[in-house]
Structure 1
Amino acid sequence: MSQQQPSISSVLNQTTANQVAHNRLKLASISKTIVLCGRQNISLRGHRDNFTDIERDTAGLHNHGNFMALLNFRLDAGDVVLRDHLSKASRIATYTSSVIQNQLMDILSKQVRQHIIDIVEVAKWFCITADEVTDVSNKEILSLVVWYCEPDSLLPREDLVGFFQCNEGITVQQLANMILTHLQSFDLDLFYLRGQAYDGAGNMSGSIRVVVKSLALTSVRNMMNIVRKVYFFEAHLKRQRKLEDVISDTQPSSTFNKLKDLCRTRWVQRLDAFTIFSSLYQSVLACFESIYLDGPALWSNDSITDANTLRHAITITDFISSFVITKSSLQYLHSLTANLQGSSTDIIHAVKEIETITSTIQNIRDNIDTYHDEWFTEIKEVCDTAGTVPSTPRTCARQAHCSNTPASSPSEHYLHTISIPLIDHLLFELKSRFSSHQPVALLSLCIVPSAMLVLPVPEFLTHSFQLADKYKDDLLSPNSFA
């Protein structure tokens, strides 16, 4: 009796399985190339990387992108499967198009994300950081990062779990709903969420900000934009050299020879930028005037126009008043911001300063007339340097974009439009950002070894007891702290 032949269905199944396995081998080389680009932070696409352009470029004159170059490198290194695939596959089945690249990247990103989520679920407790920014295509993108401790090593980690487009909007509620939706889609138990941070996501942090008249702080916002633009010296070597020459002539004893950028993220650098700008104000004015007077013979039209525009902008009373009052108000926060951006021990010291600084700002608010008089004295001195007579902005019956507060003098005008609103704003920010539970959470840094070594024993025990009481439901043996 002849041997029984396999059924048609089993033959077809085996053929399909072989084809699937062979296709996976083809995709393996392509996927590994994409993973390599991702690990090394290398962009994939080129100026002309479609199949037609590559076929036409027989002389190899064009750059077809890193992805295609790395595939060619694999071919030269002896990748037989990839060579066989690219030589025999039809033009619509090479799996190297931008569409396939995006699909593979999406699949790979989901695998990486799931791997991270699996570790977070084992670690149990986690924190999140969200940041909303606008990308180069002018789309609002939300980045989401999870913080956790590795279950085995107990080392802290922070991992990006994705970039998500804000299709529904960027209001506080919309961003909050978006974050919750994604966390729930990851199957993360929000019961174990122990911390949130919104790094630069102004709308999220703004949900607890003071509700003040936007017009009251318009002058401060405009002033900061102008100071940021004055940083134009740094972008051109010739302008910077001119500023240094003017400083050596007008302020030879100055310890500064360049301006500092008004950094959006590092507040210590921002406060330092105010100090340096105030110190070099006379030289900056002289430099702008010199560039304008030198004219086209030495400077480009852009340099002349910018210098004249900025010279006018930094000499008006509204700018000078906003700058002096803001600089004087923020100087009380310098030590706090420096410590909060420092080591664990510095942050612990900063927590102790919060109450003191809040009391100081409150005292300024209670005696705002006295402090404002001191600030306005400095304003008049700066106006004398700029050759400006202190004055108030022009007002009209109905004002939409500027403050129209009635005042009998420039001092009274800027008291009500800048000093009082700014101090109120600082007070509310301090009280809202450092509410009762946040200082206790920050004191958890006392258990960092470097901090434990320098803290007095009674202080360390006090902080430990506070932490144990705050997180007693999370501790395995909370009574051990008793």
Structure 2
Amino acid sequence: MKRNIEKNAKLTDFFKRLKKNEEDGNMGNLPEPADSDENSVTITHSACNIDSTPSTSTDSYFPTENALETFNNSNNLAIPTDNVPSSSATSATPSENSSVTVIHSAYPIDNITSVSDSETIDYYQKVFDIGVVKESSEITEFQKYKFLKESWYPPGNYQFPFSEHNKNNKIVKRYLSFKHLNTYEWVTYSHLKRGLFCKYCVIFSKPKDSKQLKGLTLEPIIKFAKLLGSQGCLENHNKNKYHIEAVLDAQNFIKSFENPQADVRNQLHKSRASQVSENRKRLKPIINSILFLGKQNIAFRGHRDDGVINVDENVSETNEGNFRELLKFRVESGDETLREHLRTSSSRATYVSKTTQNDLICCIGEEIRDAVIRRVNAAAFYCIIFDETTDVSHISQMSIVLRYVDIDMKEAREDFISFVDCHEENFSLDEDTLEPILNGKVLARTVLNVLTKLGLDLKKCIGICTDGCSVMVSKKCGAVEEIRKCIPHAVPCSCYNHALNLAVSKSSTVHSVRNLIGTVKEISSFFTASSKRHFVLKHITKTELKSVCETRWVERHDSILQFKNELPNILQALDKISLWNESESAKKARNFATALRNCEFVITLCCLANIFSITLPLSNLLQTKNLDKKQANDVVSITLLTLQDKRDDASKYYLSISNDAKQKLKEINVEFSMPRITGRMVHRPNPTVSSVDDHYRITVFIPLLDSIILDLKDRLSENKLNLYNLHLCVPSVTKNKTDEEIYQGIRQILEQFPTIFEENDEMSFQKIASEMLIWKKMWDAEQNIPDNGITALKECNKHLFPYISILLELLCCLPVSVASSERSFSTLRRLKDWIRSRMVQDRLNGLALMHIHRGICSSLNVDDIIQRYASQKNRRLEFVI
């Protein structure tokens, strides 16, 4: 009460001084007061033009900062321009002789792709704009409390709408201002409806006559004349009986919400709290069963899983599914609470149906996602990693992963957030869409919509990582460039794994390598296509052949290395099969054996295995999560140098490969020889050399090295390996740089990332430069010097080097691979197989989050899940006190 008195006193003093300045003529071109009489009125309702003029202020109109403005500028999200009331409150209606024309001026945004009404309402609900209450069919008690206590209030730089009035043939403007909002504490402005509401009446009024409740309740006031004063519409509304009743209802609601023990229902029914506690105990074993099945990725439902669970039957004739059978097992193991619940509860309140499963799975998924988002919000930066695939039910699924630095563990994390149905998200069956193409703009809009719904700050997004396909990385219309239109400071990050895999695949342009890869694939398929042939191979080799997989990067290396080691055993298996009476298998086995007993094939296999043994460690390392870009660049550089050394001294390195090949040829009884030389050769190399070693070194080894080295350098060029000088903060680099090089690098960092520091560039430069000099001096006498960002971040004292700590966190946050998205696709294939192909999207996301985030899932509080489940809608049993 004292605080409100002081606040009102300050406001009164402010408006007194404002009036005095106006009388003295010091107010400039301020509009006339909005409380005067007029006869003929023409009203122009102009919304605040936040997009037509760039604002230099760092304030924003919404808690999500500049996300709304960023979306408008990116042509991805439009503020709704409809739903503006066509009439004002009855208390502000002009006289009968008045001529009234209402013109609704919407946001001046051109070429905007509007989102659906449901998405718009969801957005305004997050900022608690009171106007959204009239668009929502039902709001929860928690939302009511938020609208009453934290309803959206315009910031200091907000441009209020105005109305134009024809007064004595002269157009005058009547502006809405903070004075109108501060005079009555129940007055609330809606950015969505562009007018004034009474927040108490909007939520708690019980109209008997809808006409008397239009102004401030059912519809906003959009005419800003005659607002204040004894005859003003605000004062008239303040005296209305229905308003006074709504205020009392609101006060009682707030009191009971903040102090549930004082709720009248609890006072009248002392047993209610006990009943709620009992209901929660009944639901807990059901939730725990869902958590267990979700973490283990076990299917829930059976062929028939409806109806009441009969806990008295030990054996059921039908398979009721894992979920219901697990509940029976819990009862048999002594869970008396669950037994009593299933035995005594109504058939419509057992909470074991498929609908309840979906609701609880969604609640668990939201709890897990919220836990991840809290960690992301606690970090200074985050990066987006996304990829797209088609699942078993032919739905285009986009996987979205966030990379950030855990401030507690000081390590990089890559956490899965959601699967998104790209077509369902962007196209409607009601629309006449000729061809729902998933181009760069559509994929970018999908990602940005997800980030906005999660409430993530787009200013903190500093990197975007995808694979190398054109729809993602095209400079003209790729998804990355479309996202950067909204987040210009986010840098594109190439996927090193895809680059390496494509470079290895490109080696098949060499004639002998192409033939070898094709032969290996066919032999692998030959053995796996028949149980008889597979039995023979497994009996001889004691293992299974790995296929040359197109998507699993490591298996491409492993398959060649394994084939080289098992070559004699594979030939033995083929020889046995070639003696079968089954002509088809015998014929193919004989042909494959002939292809393997070829000198060129064996030497090519040894050359390829030798090179793959160098690229395999790089492929494994690039798939790790806790890997910073500086460390990845170092390993890529070392790998390229190693391959280049082999190319520069090919004779020396080929000698060991040749000896290995000769040993293999001896084991399979094949002569070491070169192909027949002719005068004119068109389809294969034909060098004029006399030595067999020289022939294969020139025709196989050197072309293979050249192909991989050139392709790797092209795909992982200096531009794609760009560290934006962030590696200057790594001590092993810092101590070898001159002061001038450090200063130049700092300026380039500030130019590339202008939003990471609150100060201006010059002040930030001076502080970073000072810290860098101390940082460099500190490591001069040390022996064990960190050589990557992760290690340096752990050694950096955040209080002593705050700016260097931020730069190191920025370096560690940049992703090097989309391996986490690819891993989520592996989860998708395990989760949504052909048996569960009709799974709905919300259930899929909940189960995926439980399976992927096992640690978070195990630490969830079941009471929080019940609280979320109960707040969604009214339940047959009460779970909330």
Which deviates more from structure 2 when the two are superposed, residues 277-286 or residues 301-310?
Answer: 301-310
Q: 1:308 to 1:14 in 2, by over 3 A?
A: farther
Distance 1:459 1:223 in 2: 46
Which deviates more from structure 2 when the two are superposed, residues 120-129 or residues 326-335?
Answer: 326-335
Is the 2:400–2:417 contact (alpha carbons within 8 Å) kept by the matching residues of 1? yes
Distance 1:302 1:53 in 2: 55
Is the 2:729–2:804 contact (alpha carbons within 8 Å) kept by the matching residues of 1? no
Q: Which residue of 1 aligns with 2:354?
A: 98
Aligned amino acid, residue 343 of structure 2? R
Q: Which residue of 1 aligns with 2:520?
A: 227
Q: 1:241 to 1:424 in 2, by over 3 A?
A: same
Aligned amino acid, residue 89 of structure 1? S
Q: Which residue of 1 aligns with 2:343?
A: 83
State the 1:457 CA deviation.
Answer: 3.5
Deviations 1:120-159 (A, max 9, x none): 2123333454454554445443333334455556566553
Is the 1:131–1:200 contact (alpha carbons within 8 Å) kept by the matching residues of 2? no
Distance 2:653 2:400 in 1: 43
How do 1:104-123 and structure 2 match up within 5 A? Answer: 104-123=360-379
Is the 1:132–1:141 contact (alpha carbons within 8 Å) kept by the matching residues of 2? yes
The answer to whether 1:162 aligns with 2:448 is: no
- Correspondent of 2:455 among 181, 187, 191: 187
Deviations 1:264-317 (A, max 9, x none): 677666545424423443542343132121334xxxx88657645754775799
State the superposition RMSD in angstroms: 6.3
Q: Which residue of 2 aligns with 1:358?
A: 640
Deviations 1:374-406 (A, max 9, x none): 999999997994999959xxxxxxxxxxxxxx9
Deviations 1:221-260 (A, max 9, x none): 785465356457698454222347xxxxxxxxxxxx9866
Q: Which residue of 2 aligns with 1:274?
A: 560
Q: Which residue of 1 aligns with 2:866?
A: none
Distance 1:39 1:357 in 2: 39
How do 1:75-474 and structure 2 match up within 5 A? Answer: 77-78=335-336, 79=338, 80-85=340-345, 88-90=346-348, 95-130=351-386, 132-151=388-407, 157-167=413-423, 175=443, 177-193=445-461, 217=508, 223-224=516-517, 226-228=519-521, 230-231=523-524, 236-243=534-541, 262=548, 270-271=556-557, 273-296=559-582, 304=586, 307=589, 310-311=592-593, 323=605, 326-327=608-609, 329-334=611-616, 336-337=618-619, 351-352=633-634, 354-359=636-641, 361=643, 385=670, 408=682, 410-411=684-685, 421-431=707-717, 435-437=721-723, 457=782, 460=785
> How high is the sequence identity, in percent, across the aligned residues?
24
State the 1:322 CA deviation.
Answer: 7.1
Q: 1:42 to 1:215 in 2, by over 3 A?
A: closer
Q: 1:339 to 1:209 in 2, by over 3 A?
A: closer
State the 1:63 CA deviation.
Answer: 1.9
Distance 1:314 1:456 in 2: 59
Q: Which residue of 2 aligns with 1:253?
A: none
Q: Which residue of 1 aligns with 2:316?
A: 60
Q: Give the match's secondary structure for 1:145.
A: strand
Is the 2:499–2:716 contact (alpha carbons within 8 Å) kept by the matching residues of 1? no
State the 1:191 CA deviation.
Answer: 3.3
Q: Which residue of 1 aligns with 2:802?
A: 476
Q: 1:417 to 1:438 in 2, by over 3 A?
A: same
Q: Give the match's secondary structure for 2:399.
A: strand
Distance 2:414 2:804 in 1: 27
Aligned amino acid, residue 425 of structure 1? D
Distance 2:315 2:805 in 1: 76
Is the 1:126–1:195 contact (alpha carbons within 8 Å) kept by the matching residues of 2? yes
Distance 2:444 2:806 in 1: 37
Is the 2:732–2:787 contact (alpha carbons within 8 Å) kept by the matching residues of 1? no
Distance 2:495 2:406 in 1: 32
Q: 1:108 to 1:444 in 2, by over 3 A?
A: farther
Distance 1:224 1:265 in 2: 15
State the 1:46 CA deviation.
Answer: 1.7
Q: Give the match's secondary structure for 1:457.
A: coil
Distance 1:283 1:223 in 2: 18
Q: Which residue of 2 aligns with 1:38?
A: 294
Q: 1:36 to 1:379 in 2, by over 3 A?
A: closer
Is the 1:45–1:64 contact (alpha carbons within 8 Å) kept by the matching residues of 2? yes
Distance 1:171 1:317 in 2: 48
Is the 2:400–2:416 contact (alpha carbons within 8 Å) kept by the matching residues of 1? yes
Aligned amino acid, residue 117 of structure 1? I
Distance 2:602 2:440 in 1: 34
Deviations 1:449-479 (A, max 9, x none): xxxxxx9936727767x979xx9x9962439
Aligned amino acid, residue 453 of structure 2? S
Distance 1:202 1:318 in 2: 37
**What is the TM-score normalised by the length of structure 1?**
0.60
Q: 1:95 to 1:432 in 2, by over 3 A?
A: farther
State the 1:117 CA deviation.
Answer: 1.0
Which deviates more from structure 2 when the two are superposed, residues 178-187 or residues 260-269?
Answer: 260-269
Q: 1:170 to 1:319 in 2, by over 3 A?
A: farther
Q: 1:387 to 1:435 in 2, by over 3 A?
A: same
State the 1:410 CA deviation.
Answer: 1.0
Distance 1:174 1:375 in 2: 50
Larger helix proportion of the pair: 1
Q: 1:230 to 1:338 in 2, by over 3 A?
A: same
Is the 1:361–1:427 contact (alpha carbons within 8 Å) kept by the matching residues of 2? no
Q: Give the match's secondary structure for 2:420.
A: strand
Q: Give the match's secondary structure for 2:419.
A: strand
Q: 1:374 to 1:36 in 2, by over 3 A?
A: closer
Q: Which residue of 2 aligns with 1:70?
A: 326
Distance 2:347 2:625 in 1: 58
Q: 1:338 to 1:110 in 2, by over 3 A?
A: closer
Count of residues in Structure 1 that have an aligned counterpart in Structure 2: 423
Is the 1:29–1:82 contact (alpha carbons within 8 Å) kept by the matching residues of 2? no
Is the 1:345–1:446 contact (alpha carbons within 8 Å) kept by the matching residues of 2? no
State the 1:39 CA deviation.
Answer: 3.6
Distance 1:122 1:420 in 2: 47
**What is the TM-score normalised by the length of structure 2?**
0.37
State the 1:355 CA deviation.
Answer: 3.3
Is the 1:351–1:443 contact (alpha carbons within 8 Å) kept by the matching residues of 2? no
Aligned amino acid, residue 355 of structure 1? S
Q: Give the match's secondary structure for 2:316.
A: coil
Distance 2:471 2:448 in 1: 16
Q: 1:143 to 1:200 in 2, by over 3 A?
A: farther
Is the 1:142–1:164 contact (alpha carbons within 8 Å) kept by the matching residues of 2? yes
Distance 1:268 1:442 in 2: 32
